[in-house]
């Protein structure tokens, strides 16, 4: 059974009509399939999908990103990679099933794959905690990322989470510290890292794994510091003002590419990734291939510097720097007192005078 969003009612009616036309023994008493009418209805569906999805507002984009039929991380891992070996546990507390992680082969090359998994049924969603990672999940990924760095293996992450789990137990086990350590680990790696936001990229739960050389988004995915509902509740004390919040947050892929927060948009089939999973899969595969090839000849230090430069240049295109390529200007300005003290202690004569003065003061204090 297909699931439809509230702005897809016309498409739902047309597809229901097609299903009836395909059955020659339906309630209208037809005895043969009307292929001409089916073709006309399908053309009408394609036209309406094109019309709707070319003019999605930010809140509608959010609903598409959360669509329950949208392909999840497990789907991409199962179909893009070979010989995937899942690894479990953080070696401190336990296993977090909201994140899949392990080593695999992509085009016969070893990669570390990390995927935030929401689940595709009620049972699996509960088991996966709706994709909301706990501290042990982040510590597991840190352990594996350091292992990949040791053996010079690229890292590919699939981001799909409303945010880190906010439960009492998670906070008691150090949720904030685990997220901070994960970001620190991502920024210190000397292997190429790629984060692909396939659905919802929410808050620190996403940033913890998306501090990468390349941040890539599917066309109808979202990436934000808070959900539109949460933003509307905080700013206007009205969770119904989700559209206003979504517009203000610039959470769509097009907005984020303009702001240079992400590096690439992967196109989706008309109607969303869930309408043609095979095409979505091919588009993601091509993106991974191109990005891996781009970093193939880079040294470890060049990979690290590329990632640092990427984040240092975000938001600095208007007035903060003369040239985005000149990161040497990102230095802390020192005041005159600090400069005087540095020059004073660099001089050998000044050092001699300083120690003589210190000795005289010490003797004077002793005799007093």
Identify the three-state secondary structure at position 56: coil
Report the C-alpha gap between 203 and 228 in whole angstroms.
11
Strand-pair partners of 197: 159, 217
Report whether pLDDT(72) > 70: yes
pLDDT confidence band for 340 (50 / 70 / 90):
low
Instruction: Rounding to the nearest 10 degrees, give the CA dihedral for residues 223, 225, 229, 231.
Output: -140
Tell the burial category of 361 from Cβ atoms under 10 Å away from its Cβ (0-12, 13-18, 19+): exposed
Lowest mean pLDDT among 126-140, 151-165, 343-357: 343-357
Report whether pLDDT(341) > 90: no
Q: Is the CB of residue 254 less than 8 Å from the CB of residue 206?
A: no
DSSP state, residue 334: P
User: Residue 349: what pLDDT?
Assistant: 65
Report whether pLDDT(320) > 50: no
Report whether pLDDT(325) > 80: no
Residue 348: phi and psi, rounded to 5, are -65, -40
pLDDT confidence band for 319 (50 / 70 / 90):
very low
Report whether pLDDT(210) > 70: yes
Strand-pair partners of 159: 197
Identify the three-state secondary structure at position 109: strand
Report whether pLDDT(351) > 90: no
DSSP state, residue 120: S
Greater model confidence, 358 or 141: 141
Greater model confidence, 196 or 346: 196
| Percent of the chain at pLDDT exceeding 70 | 83
Report whether pLDDT(110) > 60: yes
Report the C-alpha gap between 46 and 355 in whole angstroms.
84
Token reading at 291: 């990005």
Element (H, E) at 223: strand 222-224
pLDDT digits (tens, 9 = 90+) for 149-200: 999 999 999 999 999 999 999 999 999 999 999 999 999 999 999 999 999 9
Q: What is the mean pLDDT of the chain?
A: 87
pTM of the model: 0.83
User: Residue 295: what pLDDT?
Assistant: 94
């Amino acid at each position: 059974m297909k699931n439809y969003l509230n702005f897809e009612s016309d498409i739902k009616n047309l597809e229901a009509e097609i299903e009836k036309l395909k059955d020659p023994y339906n309630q209208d008493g037809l005895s043969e399939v009307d292929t001409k009418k089916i073709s006309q209805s399908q053309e009408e569906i394609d036209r309406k999908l094109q019309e709707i999805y070319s003019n999605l507002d930010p809140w509608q984009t959010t609903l598409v990103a959360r669509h329950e039929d949208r392909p999840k991380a497990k789907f991409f891992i199962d179909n893009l990679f070979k010989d995937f070996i899942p690894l479990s546990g953080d070696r401190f507390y336990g296993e977090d099933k909201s994140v899949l992680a392990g080593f695999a082969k992509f085009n016969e090359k070893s990669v570390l794959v990390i995927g935030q998994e929401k689940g595709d049924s009620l049972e699996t969603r509960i088991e996966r905690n709706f994709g909301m990672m706990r501290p042990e999940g982040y510590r597991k990924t840190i352990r594996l990322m350091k292992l990949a760095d040791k053996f010079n293996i690229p890292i590919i992450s699939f981001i799909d989470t409303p945010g880190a789990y906010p439960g009492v137990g998670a906070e008691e086990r150090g949720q904030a510290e685990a997220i901070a350590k994960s970001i620190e680990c991502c920024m210190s790696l000397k292997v190429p890292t790629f984060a692909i936001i396939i659905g919802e990229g929410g808050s620190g739960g996403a940033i913890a794994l998306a501090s990468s050389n390349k941040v890539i988004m599917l066309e109808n995915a979202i990436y934000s510091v808070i959900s539109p509902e949460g933003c509307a509740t905080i700013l206007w004390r009205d969770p119904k003002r989700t559209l206003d919040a979504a517009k203000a947050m610039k959470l769509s892929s097009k907005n984020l590419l303009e702001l240079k927060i992400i590096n690439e948009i992967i196109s989706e089939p008309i109607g969303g990734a869930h309408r043609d999973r095979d095409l979505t899969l091919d588009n993601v595969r091509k993106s991974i291939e191109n990005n891996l090839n781009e970093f193939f000849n880079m040294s470890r230090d060049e990979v690290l510097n590329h990632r640092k430069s990427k984040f240092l240049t975000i938001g600095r295109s208007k007035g903060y720097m003369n040239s985005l390529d000149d990161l040497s200007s990102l230095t802390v300005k020192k005041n005159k007192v600090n400069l005087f003290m540095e020059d004073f202690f660099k001089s050998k004569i000044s050092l001699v005078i300083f120690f003589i003065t210190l000795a005289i003061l010490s003797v004077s204090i002793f005799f007093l």
